[in-house]
Chain A
Amino acid sequence: MRKLALNDDILMRVEKPARYIGNEFNSVIKDKAEIGLRFALCFPDVYEIGMSHLGIQILYSMFNEWEDVWCERVYSPWMDLDQIMRKEKIPLFCLESQEPVKNMDFLGITIQYEMCYTNILQVLDLSQIPFFSRDRGEDMPIVIGGGPCVYNPEPIADFFDLFYVGEGETQYRRLFDWYLENKHNGGTRQDFLHGAAKIPGIYVPQFYEELYREDGTISSRRKMYEDIPDKILKEIVTDVNEAHYPLKPVVPFIKVTQDRVVLEIQRGCIRGCRFCQAGQIYRPVRERSADKLKDYALEMLKNTGHEEISLSSLSSSDYSQLNELLDFLMKECRDKHVNISLPSLRIDAFSLDVMSKVQDVKKSSLTFAPEAGSQRLRDVINKGLTEEVILKGAALAFEGGWTRVKLYFMLGLPTETEEDILGIGDLSNKIAAVFYETVPKDKRVNGRVQIVASTSFFIPKPFTPFQWAPMCTAKEFLNKAHLARQGIMSQLNQKSIKYNWHEADVSVLEGVLARGDRRVARVILKAYEKGCMFDSWSETFHNDLWLESFSQCGVDIGFYTTRERADDEIFPWDFLDCGVTKEFLLREWKKAKGQTISPNCKAQCQGCGANRFGVGICYEEG
């Protein structure tokens, strides 16, 4: 039997010991004597979050399909275990073998959101791996990062040996082969990194340098070797139907956030909302065939025993074979007592019909994401949802028996006025009014409609048309939230509307990390040294420690957040190429300021540049 890294005494003391023991169904144990390369795959957050991530399951399954590779999982130990491991000097370990991460060939970290940056340092620290790439010796694992935050890796560039830019399915085999070859030839770590820098999609930050002007903006970049690329183009799967899919995902013992079979129906999004990074970096849209997905669904349900299945994509309603797929799933799942959990679909007659078949209408709520309170501002952000469509959808839903509606908005969007903010209350009120007009008094379940309006704060992200936009200060954000609340309180149906808003401080910090450069790295390290960790959890977020760190490092928050960028500014992430051109993004930024919408990819090509990949929607007959 496997020996656990933590003794019984420790496991009995920590919350949810199941986070640390591995042994889940479909987890992979290999004979290490037959393994050429060992990979620790880390999601730097707590187990329940990390286990819910599809990308990790894809890489885990693909790596372990290769005979010479053993991939194991690592998650952030929660605060209770973190304290014990520090005190007792227990090195962070992989769940499968329970062996220290520092004994592996690679430590791969998926970077899904900026607020996990201090957790990355926690993982390195507990693993007893030096924070800085330059300080790592020959015997240390190669630390590689992937995921959406890699589209601006500069704030954490010093902590990584490599970044993988783009979709993971394509270049890992080549990277591993080069690693094994270099090891076999007695090559050094530097030899490996140099060779890796020439593999498509691989970025080795220590071979590049950022140079700054007096005003703090970037003047240019320098590279250490002539034979490495100036620009790194993202990797992309050209045939999603042939790409690896994890048909035997690991089945956790404890309840995790996404405790179900996940079917990724497509990659990319046709919509082009101007605030959305995912909508740009995953272009072009590529659909998986419904036939393939049907097979996957049956196989995965059988292999896991999950009692729920859900579809995953950025905009499921745009998937062209949705009806066919859902009809199939509804039929199969009824017989198998499997629930279908539907992603946020566009609210129309079809989706309401499906939802009423698979969900308990009385319990479930409908979600609309208008993102902005007025049509004017929705045009600015290119959110194609009109008030008419929302009200019509709501009326249909109320007729169908729904009584709960969730609405998502953003505050602090470019060009936003007081009127736009008050529009949030107006729209919420109109939806409530539709309920009272549509549903006769004697048929109202619970007597009234429940509307929950939530606002988050807008954070400009790299590779979006809003990458040039200034961001609000925490105080401005809170004033906006206050105004939105007043707007709702003054409505006729205000008793039917509940308002939630996000924390402002954490949004400001996310703003710095999102558009930061290499100078931000020392702030992250300082904050970590002061004890910051799990910054995405409100109970463990310490804004005061972050503010102290910024001031002690002499880094100005406003430079990264509130400053409006000139059209020709060189951004820290400009050396990456996600397929979409900077010219296109600038064009969109100008159209936004002129309140001009852009049609979606299906309606009319906007020439974003993603057609260079030669696949997907760019080449489909419209």
Chain B
Amino acid sequence: MKIRVKFAKYGAMKFIGHLDMMRFFQKAIRRADIDMKYSEGFSPHQIMSFAAPLGVGIESRGEYMDIEVLSMTSPEDMKQALNRVMVEGVEVLSLSILPDQAKNAMASVAAASYMLKMREGNFPIPELKTRIRDFYNQDNIPYTKETKKNAIELNLKQGIYEIDTDACDTVHMLVNASSSGSIKPAMVFEKLCQFANVEIPKSAYQITRLEIYTDLAKEGEAHRFVPLAEVG
């Protein structure tokens, strides 16, 4: 039986990297005594996959993990069992049974929404609010992504689906998070600051992932983004 788990990660836990989060859940699942399905082979492991790795330092209110179990009483029971063995900063928000033929979380990911908020002690920046429309109305938002081997020229515009501010200290955005063309919120913010001609160091703001979406649109149709939790 395939189960999709949605969880939040915040506070000190934002410093725990992706692989360590997997290890954390593997152990938590054992503590919660969940009847997991294991892979075959000499060293069987729990069948578990995460939707999209979250960078160290980023908080989230919408992380996803798919697991396979052999048996369970109810999603609510399992959610409670898991929350009894969590630590401060990780919280299981919801849990649902997936149809057997459902695509796994990672393959389903299309977009993710983020909030970038100035930390306490940093002043609001009015330019963010006044310039954001003009920023988004550009046809081309070039970004040079440095990799270990070379530099790649990207046009961020294609990957930004929505961007807005609701105050002078907060930016919301919905960006491409799929295996093809995913972009990071920090890249967009960096370009926005350049465009607005303000300098904001990375340490001045906190990034929070709010939700991860899949795209239910058929080929040729406009995007139809739906939270991963609402599939199946």
Contact = CB atoms under 8 A, between A and B. Distances in A.
Q: Which of B20, B30, B202 has the most CB of A within 10 A?
A: B30
A280 to B, nearest CB: 38
Q: Which of B20, B31, B119 has the most CB of A within 10 A?
A: B31
B27 A11 contact: no
Interface string B60-90: 0000000000000000000000000101110
A12 B12 contact: no
Contact of A305 (B26, B44, B119, B206): B26
B56 A253 contact: no
B24 interface: yes
B185 to A, nearest CB: 15
Contacts of B87: 23-25
Interface string A549-587: 000000000000000000000000000000000000000
Nearest to A251: B27
Nearest to B86: A25
B203 A21 contact: no
A158 B31 CA distance: 45
B203 A9 contact: yes
A337 B12 contact: no
A251 B24 CA distance: 9
Contacts of B12: 1-2, 4, 21-23
Nearest to B14: A8
A517 to B, nearest CB: 44
A27 to B, nearest CB: 8
A21 B17 CA distance: 13
B181 interface: no
B197 to A, nearest CB: 24
Given A4-B12, A301-B30, A305-B29, A25 B85 contact: yes
Contacts of A253: 16, 20, 23-24
A17 interface: yes
Interface in B12-61: 12-13, 15-17, 20, 23-24, 26-31, 33, 38, 42-44, 56-57
B30 A305 contact: yes
Contacts of B126: none
Contact of A25 (B11, B27, B29, B202): B27
Contacts of B119: 8
Contacts of B29: 305
A17 B42 contact: no
A23 B87 CA distance: 7
B56 A307 contact: no
Q: Which of A8, A24, A253, A339 has the most CB of B within 10 A?
A: A253
A301 B56 CA distance: 29
Nearest to B42: A360
Contacts of A307: 26-27, 30
A450 interface: no
A251 B23 CA distance: 11
Interface string A192-213: 0000000000000000000000
Contact of A12 (B13, B31, B57, B89): B57
A18 B19 CA distance: 12
Interface string B142-166: 0000000000000000000000000
Contacts of B23: 253, 255
A97 to B, nearest CB: 13
Contacts of A305: 26-31, 85
Interface string A1-32: 11010011101100001100111110000000
Nearest to A4: B12
A462 B209 CA distance: 58
Interface residues of A, number: 30
A183 interface: no
B26 to A, nearest CB: 7
B173 to A, nearest CB: 21
Contacts of A89: none
Contacts of B33: 302
A11 B15 contact: yes
A23 B15 CA distance: 11
B43 A18 contact: no
Contacts of A171: none
A189 to B, nearest CB: 35
A18 B15 CA distance: 6
A492 interface: no
Contacts of A336: 30
B31 A17 contact: no
A255 B119 CA distance: 31
A306 B27 contact: yes
Contacts of A304: 27, 31
A496 interface: no
Contacts of A8: 57, 119, 203, 206
Nearest to A11: B15
Q: Which of B12, B13, B26 has the most CB of A within 10 A?
A: B12
A11 B11 CA distance: 12
B31 A302 contact: yes
Contacts of B206: 8
B33 to A, nearest CB: 8
Nearest to A21: B12
A303 interface: yes
Given A2-B12, A12-B57, A25-B85, A337 B38 contact: yes
Contacts of B42: 360
A35 interface: no
Interface string A290-332: 0000000000011111110000000000000000000000000
Interface string A472-508: 0000000000000000000000000000000000000
A254 interface: yes
Contact of B11 (A1, A18, A306): A1
A347 B204 CA distance: 60
Interface string A164-207: 00000000000000000000000000000000000000000000
B43 A360 contact: yes
A620 to B, nearest CB: 38
Contacts of A24: 87
A591 B20 CA distance: 53
A444 to B, nearest CB: 21
Nearest to B15: A17
Contacts of A360: 42-43
A245 to B, nearest CB: 19
Contact of B88 (A23, A254, A337): A23
Interface string A420-451: 00000000000000000000000000000000
Nearest to B16: A253
A18 B12 CA distance: 9
B84 to A, nearest CB: 11
19 contacts: A2-B12, A8-B57, A8-B203, A11-B15, A17-B15, A18-B17, A23-B87, A23-B88, A23-B89, A24-B87, A25-B28, A25-B87, A251-B27, A255-B20, A255-B23, A301-B30, A305-B28, A305-B31, A339-B43
Given A23-B89, A305-B26, 4 more contacts: A1-B88, A1-B89, A12-B202, A21-B15
Leading 6 A-B pairs by shortest Cβ distance: A305-B27, A305-B30, A9-B203, A305-B31, A17-B15, A21-B12
